[in-house]
Chains A and B, each alone.
Chain A
Amino acid sequence: MKKDIILAGVGGQGILSIATIIGYAVVQSDLHLKQAEVHGMSQRGGAVESHLRISDKEIHSDLVPHGRSDMIISVEPMESLRYFPYLKHDGWLITNVTPFVNIPNYPEMEHLLNEIRGHKNSIAIDGDAIAKEIGSPRSMNMVILGAASPFLEIPFEMLEDSIRAVFERKGEDIVQKNLDALNRGRDFAEKYIQK
């Protein structure tokens, strides 16, 4: 088993929480893990990425090699495309479609969606809308993780367990909202695959 994943988004959108949840699940199993984070620059609003590598064999590089990523998980549509050079031709592109517009020359949404759908294995999901629906706008990242979960080869229950463990100290309500978000994302992806 080997999964090379690029997580993408804008600073402050919560990609590191996605990494933490997957990381926690992986450590509970016997798999190897390397996860290169982006730190520094406390300001919000810049492009951020994280490389996540999971394997049943020893992992050498902390960075995912170009052209070898099995999956891009992005919480922002334009950011999902920035990491194309890493993605395998048949790799999965899973992205939120609500744009984070903080630059004057942000591209047309229609063009972005064309590019995203132009990649053969892609799932475009409105994570923000779903998170709002369940009354927890900040759980958008967990919706996106849910949408990526069918491709992770990590048992879904393990992801649920790590949400419980990681969010435990924030209270039962937050745990439940994030579990909801994860399941809603998962349902969306499964329906999509069946189509």
Chain B
Amino acid sequence: MDKLLLLGDEALAQGALDAGLSGAYGYPGTPSTEIFEYVQRNKEAAERGVHRTWSANEKTAMEEALGMSYTGKRAIVTMKHVGLNVAADPFVNSGITGTNGGLIVAVADDPSMHSSQNEQDSRHYGRFALIPVFEPSNQQEAYNMTFDAFALSEKYKTPVVMRLVTRLSHSRAGIIRKEQLEENAIKLPENPNQFVLLPAFARQNYKNLVEKQKILEKESEESKYNVYHEGKDKSLGIIACGLGYNYVKENHVEAECEYPILKISQYPLPRKMITKMINECDEVLIVEDGMPVIEEWLRGYMDNSLNIKGRMDGTLPRVGELDPAKLRTALGLEPYPMKKIPEIVKGRPPELCKGCPHRDSYIALNEAMKKYGPGHVFADIGCYTLGFLAPFHAINSCVDMGASISMAVGAASAGLFPSIAVIGDSTFGHSGMTPLLDAVNSKANIVVFILDNSIVAMTGMQDSAVTGKIEEICAGVGVEKEHIRVIIPLKPHHEENVRIIQNEINYKGVSVIIPRRPCIHIASKMRKQK
């Protein structure tokens, strides 16, 4: 078959499609978005009728994928690392129920936080939930592993995590495809108790899950993705996971590495291989692109057992993504000479586009808020978070999807006036509806801005789940109709908009203001469609 030039994300998606995928579920999030988008755009997926509509958030996506697995078909759910926090409840419990059709949870971590609030490592979740993890080290592995992940999932009735990181998700390389598999037919679970987590069944399932770990460990031991490379010089051994392995290899292109290297790309950890390395080497360097997960396990709390080097003793930096230069230093090799960045080079942070509707919303909000001083505006995650920067300085928080409304409710109940929430339309659909219900029930004195630009802009223009439904949702939750105000964020409407905002601030209760104007990058497209 011919070679495809694919991103790591796309390779995973193509693999899943070739391995008999029947449904993709997900919520956008950098750097995972392109997995789902690839399935969405794929012609064959359309012909086969593979499910590929974005979900409202990661929790619903995870549950929908589990529902497909229940029927015996193969499903994938995609999200960024923090999305797994949102999906944590069904994720952990899917370990307890187990699966029927193969289920891959594809999570993309973002070490160095290129576009995220934190750099949590999804391998922690795998261990926590006793769910096996695959960690591809290149695009071809990302493709191949989907076949093995689905097979493992069905053989042992467990979901399988596929953990990517930004530098694999968003890097292209050539992929060679395998022979395609047929999709599964519907075949319901044999055991009627399997998906019923009443305590009596849950206890039994949990016991089975714990039992299963031994055999999953054996699978890791025999996995083609975990490889022990022998080495003559046993003064050091290297355990390298996922992309970490590439950075070790990159520093040995001129001369073969003399040290033994254990490449790890499948978890639970292959205990025998690890033991072998620890027994035969004086010191062990652990290379992980993400948090020091394996390093912490091996050191243990007392940290007195082994000569381990890694991120926790400063051999590698404790935080941030790895790169070849960091490995070079850790391996004690002479660094390549490096030119300095000239001092005249200045930072160039991203900014709201010229003509962005959020700009006009913030200009109006700032004017209405002038007399109250700073510190009243809880915002959320999306393009509009850039309203924190100059020239707007309009917002005071950005924590997690939906937190704007809930934090405003909390602050209002503490007596803060005015208490304002600013949330994007997609973020509102993801996690804003439930705190709005709280606000109505507790009669919170807040003003909620739902910035409706008709799209999920931040992550690259996906469909927003609430387009055309926002007023009805707010009214349905119990916001009074007179206090659901739609405004047009454009200069000619500025005075009127400021007046409306002032009036709603003065209303004691829940107000919703919806500034509505499409993101400029879809505006022209929408005009053409009309």
* Residues of A near any B CB (own CB < 8 A): 10-11, 23-24, 27, 32-47, 51, 57, 59-63, 65-68, 78-79, 81-82, 84-85, 87, 89, 102-103, 105-108, 111-112, 115
Contacts and interface: CB of A to CB of B under 8 A. Distances in A.
B299 interface: no
Given A62-B171, A78-B346, A81-B345, 6 more contacts: A35-B173, A36-B170, A43-B350, A62-B243, A65-B325, A107-B345
Interface string B352-374: 11101000000000000000000
Nearest to A39: B170
Contact of A42 (B324, B345, B457): B457
A12 to B, nearest CB: 9
Given A38-B170, A44-B353, A45-B351, A65 B345 contact: no
A33 B338 CA distance: 24
B461 A66 contact: no
> Which size bracket describes the interface of B in this complex?
35 or more
B250 A60 contact: yes
Say what secondary structure dominates the interface of chain B: loop
Given A11-B350, A60-B246, A66 B7 contact: no
Interface string B14-49: 000000000000000011011000000000000000
B30 A85 contact: no
19 contacts: A33-B174, A34-B173, A40-B459, A40-B460, A41-B350, A46-B349, A60-B246, A61-B243, A61-B323, A61-B324, A62-B168, A62-B246, A63-B324, A66-B324, A67-B325, A67-B338, A68-B336, A82-B341, A107-B344
Contact of B342 (A51, A57, A84): A84
A82 B345 contact: yes
Contacts of B349: 46
Contacts of A34: 171-173
Contact of B249 (A10, A38, A60): A60
A47 to B, nearest CB: 4
Contacts of A107: 344-346
B171 A103 contact: no
Nearest to B346: A105
B335 A67 contact: yes
Contacts of B325: 65-67
A57 B340 CA distance: 30
Given A10-B348, A33-B173, A45 B353 contact: yes
A46 B348 contact: yes
Of the listed residues A46, A63, A82, A103, the one surrounded by the most CB atoms of chain B closer than 10 A to its CB is: A63
A130 B110 CA distance: 39
